[in-house]
Amino acid sequence: MSATVYSIRDSIKNLPKNIRSSVLRPVEGTPEQARAAAVFGNVFLHIHPARVHENSLRFGYTLGLGLISFYLFLILAISGTLLMFYYTPSTQLAYHNMKDLEYVVSFGVILRNIHRWSAHAMVAAVFLHMCRVFYTGSYKAPREFNWVVGICLLLMTLFLSFTGYLLPWDQLAFWAITVGSNIAAYAPWIGEKIRFVMLGGNEVGQMALIRFYVLHVALLPVAALVLMGVHFWRIRKDGGLSRPADR
């Protein structure tokens, strides 16, 4: 019966320990078991297998490029969400918001720089990651589908950059999107319609800005996140990272 007897004093004394163990779900066992539990008992780490092949750790093999792409995406999501607190998708206000970020918001200019440079870096990292996957032959069976998911992620990354490019509403933005949307209009049959729906009108104006904004802050990031989930899940289901045949 002693197990059920408790005193409020003991509860208080053990408070830190009890909170800690309730959060971390520690596993008692051999060191090996505890290490495994550290991975699969943690919702953020359980995407990893408990054990990985040594080849997957070789930096010279992956160059860490997929991981770097993912980290840049996280940095972009966080810095972008912060920028949203000051940004209004209006042709009257957008440019002034950018100026405010630059001159009056604390750390606004750094936040904007982080968002812009990470976006450039992510395009580069994703492209280089694709090159690494190609040159190591990692798209071969059974990883064909993950390559296709990867191409979709590459397209999402490019669309995210393109839609984000319009938001500062400066000359660079305006004319780049004018040119870009007119390229789409050359598509046979539906080109003009695509352009009209993309811009929400005949010219780059308020309707185009709000459309690009919604795509940039909601639709495309969610799509990219879902695709990344599939991408990572497939890596495990396809047997972990590719590696040379065992000798």
Partner 1 sequence: MHVVKKQEIFPRDPNKTYSLMAIVDGDSLQVDKDPGDTVSSWPHLVLRELLVFLVVGIAVVAVSLLFNAPLEEPANALHSTNPAKAPWYFVGIQELVSYSAFLGGIVAPAAIVLSLLFLPYLDRNPAGVGVWFAKERRVATSIFTVFVVAMGILIVIGQFLRGPNWTLNLPWH
Partner 2 sequence: MELNNFGGAATMPDGLDEGRRSFVKKVTATTLALGVGGIALQTGRFLKPNVLYEPARAFKVGDLSIFPIGSRIVIEGRGVEIVRERDGIHAVSLTCTHLGCLVKQVENDPDVAYACPCHGSTFAHKGEVLGGPAPKDLPWYEMYMDHTGALVVDTSKVNRERTKLVV
178 binds partner 2 (CB under 8 A): yes
Kindly report the number of other CB atoms within 10 A of residue 24's CB atom: 12
Q: Which tokens go with 42? A: 């943690």
Output DSSP code: residue 218: I
* CA–CA separation, 34 and 38 (whole Å): 6
167: CB partners within 8 A, 6+ apart: 87, 89, 94, 173, 209, 212, 213, 216
Q: Which tokens go with 76? A: 């972009």
Question: Could you tell me which stretch among 15-23, 99-107, 122-130, 208-216 binds ligand HEM (CB under 6 A)?
Answer: 122-130
Nearer to partner 2, 32 or 203 (CB): 203
Place of tokens 């070789």: 58
Q: Minimum distance from CB of 6 to partner 1 (Å)? A: 27
182 binds partner 2 (CB under 8 A): yes
* CA–CA separation, 144 and 121 (whole Å): 26
* CA–CA separation, 36 and 73 (whole Å): 28
196 binds partner 2 (CB under 8 A): yes
135-174 positions binding ligand HEM, by CB under 6 A: 138-139, 143, 146-147, 150-151, 153-154, 157
Query: In this structure, are residues 233 and 46 in contact, taking their beta carbons and an 8 Å threshold?
Result: no
Nearer to ligand HEM, 95 or 116 (CB): 116
Please give the single-letter amino acid code of residue 18.
N
Question: Could you tell me which stretch among 10-18, 93-101, 179-187, 226-234 binds partner 2 (CB under 8 A)?
Answer: 179-187
- What 3-state DSSP class applies to 162? helix
142 binds partner 2 (CB under 8 A): no
Q: Minimum distance from CB of 169 to partner 2 (Å)? A: 17
Binds 121: which of ligand HEM, partner 1, partner 2, none (CB < 5-8 Å by kind): partner 1
200 binds partner 2 (CB under 8 A): yes
Residues near partner 2 (CB under 8 A) are 175, 178-179, 182-183, 196-197, 200-203, 205-207
Residues near ligand HEM (CB under 6 A) are 62, 64-67, 69-70, 73, 126, 129-130, 133, 138-139, 143, 146-147, 150-151, 153-154, 157, 228, 231, 235, 241-242
